[in-house]
């Protein structure tokens, strides 16, 4: 435990006035918004990079000659890198300058984006997405951490709403912008990777001018061994769920080797963390019930959140024949729900200091939305889909930021970065494993439905092939086969949501057991008495 004047406390004390010399005066709303402007822009860039390719992916993978596996891995590679590095970024933020770290994360993101735009094959693109994911992991983790260093928990709900709103705008703007770029002949999909670069450069400049946090100087030893073993454990697990049921059976020696290896690597990680002087994930944090349960709930929320943003583009383009641009427009109900829920819940939590009801309600809405989406088909009326998507978006908006908020309320400033990144880590892990597993499930289900559809066509299906192995170009297919493909993708994506619904239900049950502790009115620099009370 840190002494009375550790680096994290100095961060908190300086943040009272925006500058170390301000004598602890609280920051005004204007000062906070100026400091957050570059941070929110950086967060916008991070989310934009994740969503802008979603509607362009069918065309990108088609041009690069990849199949459903490559489609999934372009998304999963970024999520994997984001997941594996989030705890490391969080720990580094407890030890080094938060401002410098967020700027480094932006530079890494820009580098990965520029090279990704030059990709000549799916493998090169996947590698570049790993680099992008490392930068995005830093931006996602540090946004929450820096905000917590400046703002008291009671007020943080209001500003967390701004983060949620930024997330919503980037999530809806990304697919729309990506669709427009892809549909514009003189631009093309490569500009989906270039377009975020100017935003990142602007964010760098704004951060340099507006973010005023003191430089932290401590004797440190970074837990590189922990970073390696958690990355290896997660990577092996993702490789397994990607290829199981396709390259080999779910029950096979490959499954035993990969799952067993992942469990072994995870056990080594836990051992390394128990011995490390500065562990990436301090295991003592999990002695607190709220942190443990919030992390578990975030794992299941991640499955729901990322499945929505990834698989809707395939549904609207391959099941309904929409353009990349329209695919973005049609997902607005989900993003609108997320935007409304995150901003309204943030404002109300700031006024009342109570947050649990929002988590529980969010769990109900996410579960209901996913279950209803599991009933859709390629010809389902859009107004029904809009209601289902809105329910899902409202639920995610109520849960995503508030799970981090209730965790930050439990810790001292010295552990703020680690605790915040733990919740973000589990959310990203849920997204990475969920997208990878559900992508593999969808590929198998689509192939199954295509075969059934061709069998129903009878003799006229002769010579058309089984399909399902690659991303089809619907415009080049004869009418009977196009209907088969649209029906197969509509049913296949619906199965994805149906399989994701139990994860949301588990998140709901977990939130029921989280003990509500009213948000503190001071920053996290105190000793965490609430932490003891919540155990």
Whether 181 contacts 189, CB under 8 Å: yes
pLDDT per residue as tens, the chain (535 positions): 333 333 333 333 333 334 333 334 556 677 778 778 888 888 887 777 777 777 778 788 878 877 767 777 787 788 778 877 877 887 788 777 888 888 899 889 888 888 988 888 888 898 898 898 898 888 877 887 787 777 776 676 677 767 767 776 776 677 778 878 888 878 888 888 888 888 888 888 888 887 776 655 556 677 788 888 888 888 888 778 777 766 778 788 988 999 999 999 999 999 998 888 778 778 888 888 888 999 999 999 888 777 766 788 789 888 898 887 788 788 889 888 888 888 888 788 878 878 889 999 999 999 999 999 999 999 999 999 999 999 999 998 898 878 888 887 777 766 777 777 788 788 878 887 887 788 878 888 888 898 888 887 766 655 554 444 566 667 777 778 888 888 999 999 999 999 999 999 999 999 999 888 777 655 544 434 433 434 4
Is the same domain home to 230 and 158?
no
Picking from 242, 276, 310, the residue at the C-terminal end of a domain is 276
* Residue range(s) defining the domain that contains residue 268: 224-276
Whether 218 contacts 7, CB under 8 Å: yes
140 CB-near residues (< 8 Å, 6+ apart)? 43, 46, 82, 86, 424, 428
Burial group, residue 111, by CB count within 10 angstroms (0-12, 13-18, 19+): middle
Q: What is the pLDDT of residue 363?
A: 93
Is the same domain home to 298 and 357?
yes
CA atoms within 13 A on the CB side of 54: 32
State the CATH number of the domain containing residue 498: 1.20.1250.20
Is the same domain home to 141 and 240?
no
C-beta neighbour count of 462 within 10 angstroms: 9
* Strand spans (E) along 401-506: none
At 121, list the tokens: 């094959």
470: β partners: 67
Query: Length of the chain, please?
Result: 535
**Closest C-alpha among 194, 172, 170, 171 to residue 182:** 194
Is the same domain home to 154 and 107?
yes
Q: What is the pLDDT of residue 2?
A: 36
Integer Cα distance of 198 and 188 in angstroms: 18
Domains: count for the chain: 2
Token pair 């970074």 is found at 222
* Cα 37 to chain centroid, rounded: 21
C-beta neighbour count of 466 within 10 angstroms: 12
In-domain check, residue 523: no
Cα separations (Å) of 437 from 39, 72, 233, 264, 511?
32, 9, 16, 20, 24
Secondary structure letter of residue 67 according to DSSP:
B
In-domain check, residue 532: no
Is the same domain home to 133 and 271?
no
pTM, rounded to two decimals: 0.74
**Closest C-alpha among 232, 385, 313, 268 to residue 56:** 313
Is the same domain home to 264 and 119?
no
């Amino acid at each position: 435990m840190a002494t009375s004047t550790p680096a994290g406390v100095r961060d908190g004390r300086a943040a009272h006035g925006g500058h170390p010399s301000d004598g602890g005066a609280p920051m005004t709303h204007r000062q906070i918004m100026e400091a957050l402007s570059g941070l929110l822009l950086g967060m916008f860039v991070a989310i934009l990079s994740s969503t802008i390719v979603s509607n362009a992916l069918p065309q990108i993978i088609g041009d690069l000659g990849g199949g459903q596996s490559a489609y999934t891995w372009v998304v999963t590679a970024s999520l994997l890198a984001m997941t594996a590095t989030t705890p490391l970024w969080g720990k580094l933020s407890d030890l080094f300058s938060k401002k410098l770290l967020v700027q480094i994360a932006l530079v890494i993101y820009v580098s990965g984006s520029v090279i990704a735009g030059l990709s000549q094959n799916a493998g090169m693109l996947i590698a570049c997405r790993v680099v992008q994911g490392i930068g995005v992991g830093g931006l996602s983790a540090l946004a929450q951490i820096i905000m917590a260093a400046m703002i008291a928990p009671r007020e943080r709900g209001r500003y967390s709403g701004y983060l949620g709103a930024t997330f919503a705008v980037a999530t809806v703007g990304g697919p729309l912008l990506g669709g427009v770029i892809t549909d514009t002949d003189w631009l093309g999909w490569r500009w989906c990777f270039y377009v975020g670069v100017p935003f990142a450069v602007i964010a760098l400049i704004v951060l340099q001018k507006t973010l005023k946090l003191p430089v932290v100087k401590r004797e440190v030893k970074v837990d590189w061994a922990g970073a390696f073993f958690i990355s290896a454990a997660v990577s092996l697990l993702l490789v397994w769920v990607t290829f199981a049921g396709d390259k080999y059976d779910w029950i096979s020696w490959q499954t035993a080797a990969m799952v067993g290896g992942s469990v072994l690597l995870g056990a080594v990680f836990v051992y390394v963390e128990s011995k490390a002087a500065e562990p990436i994930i301090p295991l003592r944090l999990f002695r607190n019930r709220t942190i443990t349960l919030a992390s578990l709930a975030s794992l299941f929320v991640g499955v729901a959140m990322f499945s929505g943003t990834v698989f809707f583009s395939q549904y609207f383009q391959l099941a309904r024949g929409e353009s990349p641009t329209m695919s973005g427009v049609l997902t607005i109900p989900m993003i609108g729900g997320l935007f409304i829920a995150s901003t309204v819940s943030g404002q109300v939590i700031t006024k009342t200091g109570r947050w649990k009801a929002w988590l529980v309600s969010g769990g109900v809405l996410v579960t209901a939305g996913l279950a209803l989406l599991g009933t859709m088909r390629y010809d389902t009326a859009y107004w029904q889909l809009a209601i289902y998507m809105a329910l899902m978006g409202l639920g995610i908006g109520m849960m995503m930021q508030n799970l981090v908020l209730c965790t930050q309320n439990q810790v001292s400033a010295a552990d703020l970065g680690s605790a915040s990144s733990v919740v973000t880590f589990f959310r990203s892990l849920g997204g990475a494993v969920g997208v990878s597993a559900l992508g593999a499930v969808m590929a198998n289900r689509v192939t199954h439905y295509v075969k059934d559809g061709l069998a129903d066509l009878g003799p006229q299906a002769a010579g058309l092939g089984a399909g399902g192995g690659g991303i089809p170009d619907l415009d080049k297919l004869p009418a009977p086969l196009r209907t088969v493909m649209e029906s197969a993708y509509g049913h296949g994506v619906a199965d994805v949501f149906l399989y994701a619904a139990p994860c949301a239900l588990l998140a709901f049950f977990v939130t029921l057991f989280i003990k509500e502790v009213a948000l503190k009115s001071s920053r996290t620099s105190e000793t965490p008495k609430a932490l003891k009370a919540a155990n």
